[in-house]
């Protein structure tokens, strides 16, 4: 098949004057090259398109592709991750990963939690604060955890994200509102272990690839998978496959959230335990990072014995099956073990 690749190249935005933090979610040349290599290894051709502006130019020129492998994150607004798939929908071009509705919903953590909660998925109690004055109206017991409502890569999360009283809550909300120009998610702080769950597939076909436990070293910012810890993961974070009695519950919650939100093909769900060891849905990443070395989903796949190319082949296989484009009798590539917990 003839593939197009849509992505946001970090170095392009850095050259335009955007900061390291503003571009933290964007991709490196290594990621784009690794994706192109994986598609070629699977027998396909790959054309590099780039970001939404490049896509607009190509579409206006009449270019088309049989399928687009989309990892473009966008830059502005709650619908930034939905822009590329919305354009592709308008032109009738199929693509890998979730649709515009899911990407916009998942990016806004408050909206995603409302939908998940309505579907019966446990998630910490929360409020969405849009102004400093609204911080005083929050009626949740301390300690609380605050973060921007629509950022990824742990942007806006630091040691000050946990707040223990009303003055600290107001200060943190004021700081985040000013810096990120978007509402702040305030939720009950969960003191237990944190996990990220890799999922492949769509709907009833979705299954857990594995569960990654995030372990912080003594020199890391304590108790928080912060932007600083994530950026310096090689020195501050230990990743390991999770084991023990909590894993089944973590898998169950992650799969229930994935299905309730309508996510497709592959991605991650973050889950954390409360004081009693019960798992709660935190957020979902339906456009998970795919850097060949450092991205969480790739690290998880590697710990499960999958190469980067095998992970991409598995994601692609699920997408082709969903779209009815898989050859008759073809398998989806390396598939995770089935986890059929009731949601």
* Residue 339 covered by a domain: no
Domain count across the chain? 3
Specify the pLDDT at position 160. 86
Least Cα distance to 147 among 126, 167, 119 occurs for: 126
* Residue 332 covered by a domain: no
Three-class SS state of 199: strand
Q: Which two tokens stand for residue 111?
A: 């909206």
In a shared domain, residues 177 and 277: no
pTM of the model: 0.91
Q: Which domain covers residue 37, as residue numbers?
A: 2-96
* Residue 49 covered by a domain: yes
* Residue 101 covered by a domain: no
pLDDT above 90 covers a percentage of the chain that reads: 82
Residues 6+ apart with CB under 8 A from 306: 314, 334
Contact 343, 259 (CB under 8 A): yes
In a shared domain, residues 147 and 175: yes
* Residue 117 covered by a domain: no
- Distance from C-alpha of 271 to C-alpha of 268, rounded to nearest angstrom: 10
pLDDT tier for residue 121 given thresholds of 50, 70 and 90: very high
For residue 242, the domain's CATH number is 3.30.470.20
Sign of CA dihedral 130, 136, 140, 141: positive
- Distance from C-alpha of 108 to C-alpha of 286, rounded to nearest angstrom: 12
Reported as a single tens digit per residue, the pLDDT across 271-314 is 999 999 999 999 999 999 999 999 999 999 999 999 999 999 99
CA-based R_g, the chain, Å: 20
């Amino acid at each position: 098949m003839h593939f197009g690749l849509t992505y946001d190249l970090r170095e392009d935005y850095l050259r335009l004057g955007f900061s390291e933090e503003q571009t933290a979610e964007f991709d490196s040349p290594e990621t784009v090259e690794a994706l192109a290599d994986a598609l070629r290894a699977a027998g396909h051709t790959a054309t590099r398109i780039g970001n939404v502006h490049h896509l607009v130019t190509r579409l206006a020129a009449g270019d088309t592709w049989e399928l687009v492998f989309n990892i473009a994150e966008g830059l502005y607004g709650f619908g930034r991750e939905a822009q590329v798939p919305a354009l592709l929908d308008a032109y009738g071009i199929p693509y890998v990963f979730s649709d515009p509705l899911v990407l916009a919903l998942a990016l806004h953590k408050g909206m995603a939690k409302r939908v998940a909660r309505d579907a019966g998925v446990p998630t910490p109690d929360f409020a969405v604060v849009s102004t400093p004055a609204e911080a005083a109206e929050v009626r949740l017991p301390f300690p609380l955890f605050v973060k921007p409502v629509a950022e990824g890569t742990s942007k806006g999360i630091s040691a000050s994200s946990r707040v223990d009283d009303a003055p600290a809550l107001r200060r943190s909300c004021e700081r985040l509102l000013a810096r990120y120009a978007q509402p702040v998610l305030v939720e009950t702080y969960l003191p237990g272990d944190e996990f990220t769950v890799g999922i492949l597939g769509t709907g009833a076909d979705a299954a857990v690839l594995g569960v990654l436990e995030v372990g912080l070293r003594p020199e890391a910012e304590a108790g928080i998978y912060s932007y600083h810890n994530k950026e310096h993961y090689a020195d501050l974070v230990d990743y390991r496959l999770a084991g023990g009695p909590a894993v089944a519950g973590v898998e169950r919650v992650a799969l229930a959230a994935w299905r309730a939100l309508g996510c497709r093909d592959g991605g991650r769900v973050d889950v954390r335990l409360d004081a009693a060891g019960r798992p709660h849905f935190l957020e979902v990443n339906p456009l998970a990072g795919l850097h060949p070395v450092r991205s969480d989903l790739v690290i998880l796949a590697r710990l499960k014995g999958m190469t980067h190319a095998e992970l991409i082949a598995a994601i692609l296989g699920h997408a082709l099956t969903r779209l009815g484009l898989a050859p008759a009798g073809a398998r989806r590539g390396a598939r995770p073990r089935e986890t059929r917990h009731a949601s």
